[in-house]
Chain A
Amino acid sequence: MRQLTKGNVAVVKGALLAGCGAYYGYPITPASEIAEAAALYLPQVGGVFLQAESEVAAINMVYGAASAGVRAMTASSGPGVSLMQEGMSYLAGAELPCVVVDVVRGGPGLGNIAPEQSDYFALVKGGGHGCYRNLVLAPASAQEMADLTRLAFDLADRYRNPAVVLTDGFIGQMMEPVDLDATVAVPEAKPWAVAGTAETRKNLISSIFLEPDLLEAHVRKLEAKYLEAERLEARHEVYRGEDADTLVVGYGIVSRVLRSAVEQARKAGAAVGLFRPISLWPFPKEALVAAASRCRRVLVVELSTGQMVEDVRLALNGTVPVELLGRVGGNVPSVEEILDRLLPVGAAAR
C-alpha cells in the first residue's frame, strides 16, 4: 500500500522492517523526525528508543547494542555526525555493524539547517581516525530512504562495519508515496556478539591491538573486507545514457533536479544522460567509466564546493573533461541553471 510518507519517517519504517531493535540518538534539524518516529514506533514493537545526552553518547550506545548483536542505528546531521566520528572509528575497528543516517545540512560549523551535500568527505573518505571505510548509500526519494536503510542494515551485518545513509534536508523533509511490505527481516545469528550468555562468554569486542604486527594484520583484514565490498557493492542508476554525449552526475536531491534537466535538455535536442551513484562508497567507478566512455563532457552537480567531483575525476582519470557546478548554503541549482551550463546560449528557450 502506497502511503504518503516523509523521507525521515521512511528511514525508521525501513529500519523496523530490517529488524532494527534499538535507536539511540540526539535531536538535530533536519534529522529530528527520525528520532521522533523511532521514539513512537520502536517501543510498540519491543525495540529500544533512548534519547542520549549527546551524539557522543548516542554512537557509543549504538556500539553497546551492536556488541550485544542487536541491529542498532542512530541519525543526525553534520555537527552531530562530527561528534559521532570517533565512535564510528571504534565500531569499524571492533568490526561492529550499525547504521548511521546523516541528513546533511549546511556547514561548516553551525552553518545552517538548509540542505547541503558537504559531509561527503567526512563520511565517504573518513572523518574518524585510522584506516577504515563506511559503506555509504545515497537515497534520492522517500521510497529509497526506506529501502536503502533496510539495505544498509544488511550490508552492515555482512561486512560487520558501519553503514551510512547519506542524505540531505530535502530528501529527509519531503513526502512521497512509499510502498512497504510488512515482512520483517530476520537477521542472521551473530555468534561473535557478547550477549551475557554461556555461548558468548568467551567473546571479546575490542579495537585495541598493541603489537604492531597484530594491528597490521587486523587492518589488513579490514582492508580485505573493503576490497570485497568494492567488488560487490557498487550501485548506480543511469537515465538516458545510451546515446548521451554529455553526462551529468549527481546523487540525492541533485539527481532529481538533474533528471528533470535531462528531460528538458532532450526536448531541446541535446544528448544528455544522467549518472546517479546510489552507493557513494564503494563509488561505482567502473559503471561511471562505461557510462562516460562515449561522452565528450561530464558535468558534476553537487551541493558543495566540490567533494564527489574528486571521485568522478579519479574514476575517469583524465579521459573526459569533468566540470563542476556546486552550490552551497541551502541553494539548490534549478533546472534552468543546469540547462544554462548544458546548452548553447538560447537553446533552452526554443
Chain B
Amino acid sequence: MLSKSDVFYDRYERKAELQHQTHYCPGCGHGIAHKLLAEAIHDLGAKDSTIFVSPVGCSVFAYYYFDVGNVQAAHGRTPAVATALKRSCPGSLVIGYQGDGDLAAIGTAEILHAANRGEAISIFFVNNAIYGMTGGQMAPTTLVGQTSTTTPWGRRPANEGYPIHVAELLATLEAPAYIERVSLHDGKNIMKARKAIRKALDIQRAGAGFTFVEILSPCPTIWKMTPVEAQRWVEEKLLPVFPLGILRDRRPAIAADGGPPRKPMAEVLGLTRDAAGAIPASGAGAAVQPVTVKVAGFGGQGVLLLGQMLAEIGLREGMEVSWLPSYGPEMRSGSAHCHVCIAGERIGSPLISNPDVLIAMNELSLRKFAPHVRAGGLILYNQDALPAGFDAAAARVVCVPASRIADDLGAARAANAVLLGALQAETATFGAEVALSVLVAAIRNPSLHELNRKAFQAGRSFAAERTAAA
C-alpha cells in the first residue's frame, strides 16, 4: 500500500508545479479514492484499456495522476460522455468519477438515465456534502442545518429541501447491477471501499451492467476542520443520514438481445432495389409533361401519399420533381396539403403559389385553394357537384366523387387512387402504365393492390365517360 501504483504517473507532468504531489488538500478523500482506483485498475491489468472521465469539481484534474486514457467532461455530463465512450469502445473499462454537485445537482438527469439504461460503466460518486472547488457552497447532499456560503443560516428544508440520497434513488431502478455506499473515515471502512471499487470494476469487466459506488469523503478545508476532525464528522454526521451498505447486487441485470439484424450498406440505403418495385424510365422524355399540382384535404385521405405518387411518376420518367408537405399545426388539426412540381429542368421554388392543378379532397380545401389555381388550370373536386353558389374562377372544375367510388369498391381510403386515375385520364400529363406501377409500389399491404388498381381504373373510366358525355 505504500508504493505508488503504476496506474499513476511517476511525476505529475500535466501539473504546472509541485509535480511530485497532488493538488488535493491534506486530509481530502479524493487522494484515497484515487489510490484505491489506481490499485484496482492495476490489479485488473486494465491500465491500457481504461478510459477515465473526470468531472467538473475538485477532481477535474484527475488526468494529472491517472496514466490511462483521459477524457474531461462538462459539468454533470460524465455519465453521458461515459455512455458513448463505452458504446464506442465496448472492450474498454470506462470509469466516471463525479462529485456531489456534478452528479446530484446539475447532472441528475444524466446519472439517472445512464443507470436506467444499465450502461456497462462504473460511476464513483464522491459525496462530501459541500461544493469544494468553488469554495463551499451548498451541495444537494448538504445536511439539514449545515452551513455553507450559500446557506449562511444552515440548510433549511423549508427553503432548500432535504439532502438527496442518490444510491437509494438509483436502487429504485431495474437496470443497475451493483450499488453500494462506502465511507473513507477510517482504515476499516477504507478497506471496505477498496473492495467495493474492485467489485464495481470486476462487474464492468464481466460486462454485467451498470455499477455505482457512493463514497462518503472528508473535506477538511471547506468544513474548516483538521483532517482528524473531518473524519470524525463523516462518522458522526454523514453516516446517520447516508447509511453504508450494498443497495443492489444483481447480475446479469439486463439480458443481451443481439440487436437488429445486420445488412450490407447498399441494401440498408435501398440502393439495390431492382425491378421489384421500380420500372425503368421510359426514356421518352416527353412521357410526362411539366406540371405543378396542389393536393389538399383531410388527414387520412391519402393526400400526402397522392402527392408523393405524382412526384414518383415524374421521377421514374426522368423528370425533375419536388414534393413539399404542409406539416405541423395544420396537419394536427386534421388538414393536410402538399405541393408537387414536375419539371424538365432544375426546380427553383418547390412552393407553388398558383398551381396548374388542384386536387381538392374536401370542401374546405376547395374554398381555400381554388382561387389560386392558374387561369386555365384544372381543379379535381372530390364530390358529385360543386357547393351551391361556388364560383371556380378561371379554372376548369371536374367533380369526381372519388370517396363514393372508392367506398363502392370496398375501401374509402382508395379515394386517392381514384383521383390519380381521373387526373391521368383528364390531363394525360403522364401515362397510365407508370401511374399504376407507382400506385402498386406505394401500397405496402399486397392485399390492397387489386382494390387500388380497380380504384385507379374506376377514376379513369369516370373521367373518360364524363368527357365522352360532354
Instruction: Find out whether the CB atom of A57 lies under 8 angstroms from the CB atom of B110.
Output: yes
Contacts of B94 in A (CB 8 A): 196
Contacts of A62 in B (CB 8 A): 84
Contacts A4-B308, A52-B80, A63-B81; A182 near B265 (Cβ below 8 A)? yes
Distance in angstroms from A196 CB to nearest chain B CB is: 3
Chain B interface bracket (under 10, 10 to 19, 20 to 34, 35 or more):
35 or more
Instruction: Find out whether the CB atom of A175 lies under 8 angstroms from the CB atom of B323.
Output: yes
- Chain A 197-236, CB-CB to B under 8 Å as 1, else 0, gives 1101111111110110000000000000000000000000
Instruction: Find out whether the CB atom of B77 lies under 8 angstroms from the CB atom of A113.
Output: no
Instruction: Find out whether the CB atom of B353 lies under 8 angstroms from the CB atom of A334.
Output: yes
Complex CA–CA separation, A340 to B365 (angstroms): 27
Complex CA–CA separation, A284 to B260 (angstroms): 44
Complex CA–CA separation, A20 to B274 (angstroms): 26
Distance in angstroms from B383 CB to nearest chain A CB is: 29
Q: Which of B68, B84, B87, B320 has the most CB of A within 10 A?
A: B84
**Dominant secondary structure at the A interface:** mixed
Distance in angstroms from B259 CB to nearest chain A CB is: 6
Contacts of B77 in A (CB 8 A): 56-57, 60, 63, 87
Contacts of B364 in A (CB 8 A): none
Contacts A41-B269, A176-B323, A177-B315; A53 near B113 (Cβ below 8 A)? yes
Contacts A65-B87, A208-B60; A336 near B260 (Cβ below 8 A)? no
- Chain A 35-78, CB-CB to B under 8 Å as 1, else 0, gives 00000010111101010111011101111110111101000000
- B321 interface residue (CB < 8 Å to A): yes
Which positions 1-51 of chain A face chain B at CB distance < 8 Å?
1-4, 13, 16-17, 21-22, 24, 29-30, 41, 43-46, 48, 50
- A97 interface residue (CB < 8 Å to B): no
Instruction: Find out whether the CB atom of A44 lies under 8 angstroms from the CB atom of B260.
Output: yes
Contacts of B273 in A (CB 8 A): 1, 3
- B324 interface residue (CB < 8 Å to A): yes
Which positions 164-209 of chain A face chain B at CB distance < 8 Å?
169-170, 173-177, 180, 182, 184, 194-198, 200-208
Complex CA–CA separation, A173 to B322 (angstroms): 11
- Chain B 46-76, CB-CB to A under 8 Å as 1, else 0, gives 0111110100000010010001111111100
Complex CA–CA separation, A43 to B262 (angstroms): 7
- B88 interface residue (CB < 8 Å to A): yes
Give the nearest-CB partner of A179 in chain B.
Answer: B271
- A247 interface residue (CB < 8 Å to B): no
Contacts A87-B77, A112-B329, A177-B315; A57 near B109 (Cβ below 8 A)? yes
Instruction: Find out whether the CB atom of B84 lies under 8 angstroms from the CB atom of A176.
Output: no
Contacts of A163 in B (CB 8 A): none
Distance in angstroms from B53 CB to nearest chain A CB is: 8
Instruction: Find out whether the CB atom of A22 lies under 8 angstroms from the CB atom of B88.
Output: yes
Q: Which of A64, A69, A198, A206 has the most CB of B within 10 A?
A: A64
Instruction: Find out whether the CB atom of B88 lies under 8 angstroms from the CB atom of A68.
Output: yes
Instruction: Find out whether the CB atom of B308 lies under 8 angstroms from the CB atom of A173.
Output: no
Contacts of A309 in B (CB 8 A): none
Instruction: Find out whether the CB atom of A204 lies under 8 angstroms from the CB atom of B63.
Output: yes
The listed residue (A4, A16, A21, A202) touching B268 by CB distance below 8 A is A16
Contacts of B70 in A (CB 8 A): 194, 203-206
Distance in angstroms from A253 CB to nearest chain B CB is: 8
Instruction: Find out whether the CB atom of B353 lies under 8 angstroms from the CB atom of A195.
Output: no
Q: Interface residues, chain B, CB within 8 Å of chain A?
A: 14, 16, 47-51, 53, 60, 63, 67-74, 77, 80-85, 87-89, 91-94, 109-110, 112-113, 259-263, 265-266, 268-271, 273, 308, 311-312, 315, 320-325, 327-329, 346-351, 353
Q: Interface residues, chain A, CB within 8 Å of chain B?
A: 1-4, 13, 16-17, 21-22, 24, 29-30, 41, 43-46, 48, 50, 52-54, 56-58, 60-65, 67-70, 72, 86-87, 90, 94, 112-114, 169-170, 173-177, 180, 182, 184, 194-198, 200-208, 210-211, 253, 256-263, 330, 332, 334-336
